[in-house]
Structure 1
Amino acid sequence: MKNKVTLLNMISGLILQFFTLISGFILPKIILTCFGSEVNGLVSSLNQFLSYITLVEGGITGVIVANLYKPIVEQDNNKISSVLVTADRFYKKIGALFIAYSVILSIIYPLHFKTEFTFSYVCSLTLILSLTLLIQYMYSLTLRTLLNADKKGYVVNFTQTLIVIFNVLFALISVFIYPSIHVLKLISGSLFLLQPLIFNRYVKKNYKIDWKVEPDNSLIKSRWNGFAINLAAFIHNSTDVTVLTFLANLKTVSIYSVYSLVSSGIKQMINACLSGIAHTVGQAYAKKNWKELNQKLDIYEYIVLILVFFLFTVTALLITPFVQLYTKDIVDTDYNQPLFGFLLVLAEALYLIKLPHLNLAYSANKFKEITVPAYIEAMLNIMISVALVKWIGLIGVTIGTIVGMTYRMVFHVYYTSKIVPGRAQCIFYRKLFLFAAGAGGGFVFCYKLLPLQTVTVGSWIVHAIFYCVVMGAILLAISILFFQNEMKFFWKYVKRK
């Protein structure tokens, strides 16, 4: 049953990411077509600045999840209640602070950054965009954290899928009736009210939470152990847009955001596939079952590398032609940036490759021990991005991300070998080398044998099928030759009742 739940989490996550990916292409296309690149860049930039509030969280979500694993396994309702009360009070404080931050940002942004829009236009749009995060901090995040820690991520995923579908439908209706970016985003933010309604109903029915117990304030103190990790993740997701906002212009931000639609969509799809495995590894560590943990790390690494090298190699070949098709009617800026597209895909691939080791450190509650490397990664990313953006623009900020991600990957593979008995670093690097060699060979073969030169929808689809077949055959051959144990274990894991 536990394995079926894990599979359900993965399937529901894939369904969510499928609809999110579709939505991620439809909504920006609506904005680009109806309102232009400048508005698209403005929305991306404002969302990035609003997300700065997550820094105040200081890593509490990771700490909360790590502290929920054991009481969930032991069915200690009192401890679960104490952790949740602590989290809920803290998140509501962040929500109150976020209100003040949003108001300040809505005033400062239009005064500091010169755009073609009026003060009232930017100010009101900022406040509307803040609704999504505000609702989550005030009403949703505590319950969502509990459901994810208890491997009930499918509840979260199906709820979010519903919101995504409604968001697209209402957006199409709104621009048809009254084309306004403010109305479109107000509808989007309001839909997030569905989250607390559904989560509350499910938790009341399936858990015995006492919201009157005393909070565990030690968790709030220990959140600073997770701050560096939270900061590093934030910088990975925000440095590029922030640097481009300050040192470039909103049209360049729009180019970045359009390419990021593809790379981020693939990244989130892979994350959805892996979400159930991550929490399974966390519970195996909580039980200190080293044999089981090593087996699950093996399969975790294998699945990550298969997914990353298959999807991201195909994406690297197709991302620029796709963007050319996607923006063919947009003539206010040049979206043909092939080298940037390739480097952005590489950066996101490096972020995902380290996930088994990063999530293990989270599950082991080793936030303090991995603080310094997280800060080093953040500093490398920022300094290199700022230093290069003036010279090589979009490519410069992506190089900063690649360097930071490479350093962090090497560290976490090393750290896993220190906290898991019998886990040698060469286990990971052997997998990485074999899959990287296969993917590199496949990329060159596809690019040289059948390059996509005349970009049409039909030719793009034909090339996509060809590239998928080639990469699938190469990675399958590598799996059969070198990873039969992982393939057998994965099949048994899925079938086991």
Structure 2
Amino acid sequence: MLLLITTFLSRSVFIKCLGEDFVGLTSAMMNIMGFLNLAEMGFSSVVAFALYKPIYEKDQSGINEIVSVFAYIYNRIGWIILLCGLALVYFLPEFFKDSGFENRVIWATFFTYLITTLLGFFVNYKETLLAADQNNFIKVRLFNIVKISKVVVQVLCLLYLDGGLYIWLLLEFSFLSVYSLVINLKIKKLYPDLVSSVKSGRELSRRYGFIYTKAKQAFFHKFSATVLQQVTGILIYVFSNLATVTKYTNYTLITASLYTLLSSIFDSTNAAVGNLVAEKDSKKILRVFWELQVSRYWIATCMVYVTYTTVDLFIAVWLDKSFVLPEDIKIVLMLNLFIMLTRKTNDEFISAVGLFKDVWAPITEAVINIGVSVAAGSYLGIVGIPLGTLLSLLLIIGIWKPVFLYSEFMPQSLGQYFLRIFKYLFISFSSIVFVEQIPLHVLPIDNPYYVFINMAAQRTLEVFLMSGLIYFALAAEMRSFLKRFKRR
């Protein structure tokens, strides 16, 4: 929550002091870095999957070997990204020729993000062990502390020291370097018996050939996720300008923050699901699956509804009314957010079982995403760009992924899955209809902050209570989920 508050407050300062175009430039650079990260090929998720068994069996030798193999793989990937990044340097001025920035600004921004990206491959590869060992909260805590500190210092430099964009970029690099140092010291303290090296990883790589096999399959899933996250900002720049990228990114920052917030609550279950799968208890697997599923649908319903009803007010208060996007774009973004918030349970179980072989699915998802975004963007403007994302999510994430998971692993019929999902959607829709009938109580105070806070508080309380009661009454798994908390 502190990170989200800091991020939103600082963005208004960054836009005011650095300009819409520079903020749009940094967003575009992060999109480019996202595509360079395709070289990672999904190895991190595969290695986490490979670590579940030795961690469960407390096999320190196996853990050391897998982390060493990962160090070797990430070292090679880091060099590939560096070479690709250096090759891109030549084309950047031409790509951003209409941005109004000098080449040195473009290059300085690019190299800042390139170097901080490379830290993850050459220095921070051991973080995967924290995630696999149900200690990811340690990484999140340290990263958030460093990021909050970085943003606060950047804001102070811009407001009181007349720090320009070069100081802003220097701080971006410096604080992430500090994080790399701190996280490695913490891992060394937590795992004193962990011994890993690139050299031993190279020697062991043949013994763990299955990691490469799985990674080849996972690459296509990584590719699809990257397209989903990064291509939209680039296409908006192509069809519009950097200022529009900034406006659109303001909304996606909100949706991404909500996604991050829910992930902060539920991501601790990733390794727990891996441990659950290792136990091979079908009844327990099914019970936990539906408890996670119903809880996410409930929370996603509330988050999306409150965001839809208050996001324009928030943008106006946060930045200015001129940053508010049209209603049709907002609707598409909210639908995308709902699918993203509710997809995680299927993703967790697919990853825990190591089901990456449906390589055609992410390729199809990426093709649909880009194809529809370009075509619809040409005819409808920027509202058509997130439409490509929506269609690809509906077809691949909403339909295919559960079909794949159930056909390969889950001890239940696919028909029962979709019946429950349709029931959840009916409950969510009914809850929103009921809440919409409740009149808002707003005092005649002409203050935008009061109007936003009042409306957000009322709608949040109403939708959480209404949907929670209906889910509790109609879904046994919701009652089981709440009983689990009561027992804890």
- The alignment's TM-score, normalised by the length of structure 1, stands at 0.89
Q: Which amino acid aligns with 2:343?
A: K
Counterpart pick for 2:389 among 383, 401, 419: 401
Indicate whether 1:148 and 2:156 are aligned.
no
- 8 Å CA contact 1:321–1:455 kept in 2: the answer is no
1:91-110 → structure 2 map (5 Å cutoff): 91-110=74-93
Write the deviation string for residues 385-412 of structure 1: whole angstroms up to 9, x where unpaired.
0101122222111111111111122111
Check 1:105–1:450 CA distance in 2 against 1; reply closer, same or farther (3 A cut). Answer: farther
- 8 Å CA contact 2:53–2:278 kept in 1: the answer is yes
Q: Which amino acid aligns with 1:45?
A: A
- 8 Å CA contact 1:434–1:478 kept in 2: the answer is no
Structure 1 stretches of 5 or more lacking a match?
1-17
Check 1:404–1:53 CA distance in 2 against 1; reply closer, same or farther (3 A cut). Answer: same
- Helix, strand or coil at the partner of 1:393: helix
Aligned to 1:467: 459
Distance apart, 1:489 and its partner CA: 4.2
Could you tell me how far apart the structure 1 residues matched to 2:481 and 2:314 are? 37
Distance apart, 1:372 and its partner CA: 1.3
Aligned to 1:479: 471
Indicate whether 1:204 and 2:193 are aligned.
no
- 8 Å CA contact 1:435–1:475 kept in 2: the answer is no
1:56-455 → structure 2 map (5 Å cutoff): 56-113=39-96, 114-140=98-124, 142-175=125-158, 176-207=160-191, 208-211=193-196, 213=200, 214-217=203-206, 218=209, 219-328=211-320, 334-368=323-357, 370-408=358-396, 409-444=398-433, 450=439
Distance apart, 1:484 and its partner CA: 3.8
Could you tell me how far apart the structure 2 residues matched to 1:279 and 1:164 are? 25
Aligned to 1:6: none
Could you tell me how far apart the structure 2 residues matched to 1:35 and 1:198 are? 30
Q: Which amino acid aligns with 2:238?
A: F
Distance apart, 1:442 and its partner CA: 4.4
- 8 Å CA contact 2:14–2:155 kept in 1: the answer is no
Could you tell me how far apart the structure 2 residues matched to 1:426 and 1:320 are? 39
Could you tell me how far apart the structure 2 residues matched to 1:199 and 1:121 are? 30
Counterpart pick for 1:457 among 438, 449, 463: 449
Distance apart, 1:135 and its partner CA: 1.6
- The alignment's TM-score, normalised by the length of structure 2, stands at 0.91
Aligned to 1:15: none
Q: Which amino acid aligns with 1:469?
A: L
Distance apart, 1:347 and its partner CA: 0.4
Check 1:53–1:315 CA distance in 2 against 1; reply closer, same or farther (3 A cut). Answer: same
- 8 Å CA contact 1:301–1:428 kept in 2: the answer is no
Deviates more, 1:206-215 or 1:118-127: 206-215
Q: Which amino acid aligns with 1:359?
A: E
Aligned to 2:4: 21
Q: Which amino acid aligns with 1:373?
A: A
Could you tell me how far apart the structure 2 residues matched to 1:343 and 1:366 are? 30
- 8 Å CA contact 1:255–1:335 kept in 2: the answer is yes
- 8 Å CA contact 2:137–2:268 kept in 1: the answer is no
Check 1:132–1:19 CA distance in 2 against 1; reply closer, same or farther (3 A cut). Answer: farther
Count of residue pairs the alignment pairs up: 474
Distance apart, 1:433 and its partner CA: 2.8
Distance apart, 1:421 and its partner CA: 4.5
Could you tell me how far apart the structure 1 residues matched to 2:439 and 2:110 are? 46
Q: Which amino acid aligns with 1:133?
A: T
CA RMSD of aligned residues (A): 2.3
- Helix, strand or coil at the partner of 1:226: helix
Q: Percent identity?
A: 18
- Helix, strand or coil at the partner of 2:250: helix
Aligned to 1:10: none
Could you tell me how far apart the structure 2 residues matched to 1:427 and 1:494 are? 28
Q: Which amino acid aligns with 1:378?
A: A
Write the deviation string for residues 1-57 of structure 1: whole angstroms up to 9, x where unpaired.
xxxxxxxxxxxxxxxxx2332232123212211122111111111111122121111
- 8 Å CA contact 2:46–2:354 kept in 1: the answer is yes
Check 1:427–1:278 CA distance in 2 against 1; reply closer, same or farther (3 A cut). Answer: farther
Could you tell me how far apart the structure 2 residues matched to 1:494 and 1:284 are? 21
